[in-house]
Amino acid sequence: MSKSWTAGSTRAWRSTRAAVLVRDGWTCQLRLPGVCVGQSEPMHVHHTRGKQFGDDPAYLLSACEPCNLALGDPTKLHDRPNEAVTKW
């Protein structure tokens, strides 16, 4: 069991998850090249902006398991800081 599920899921989350999967036709919306399988069992629901935005369906997408696991937590993806160009 995933660490995020140790507290269990709520009825509200299960309802929201089901609505997102139906809305997206049970098909992966992330479609990562070389990773996506389109549909998998189980299908995941990906938080596009991280869980701090809650379970608002506007920030949720259905995802196949390989894509969701490959992408991970969007709040932990950081770009390197910008560096000034001093020479050409």
| Count of other CB atoms within 10 angstroms of residue 58 | 7
pLDDT, tens only, 21-73: 999 999 999 998 998 888 878 899 988 887 877 888 998 999 999 988 888 77
- Element (DSSP H or E) covering residue 20: helix 11-23
pTM over 0.75: no
Q: How far is 7 from 51, CA to CA, in rounded Å?
A: 15
Domains of the chain by residue range: 28-74
Q: Is 37 helix (H, G, I), strand (E, B) or coil?
A: coil
Q: How far is 44 from 27, CA to CA, in rounded Å?
A: 10
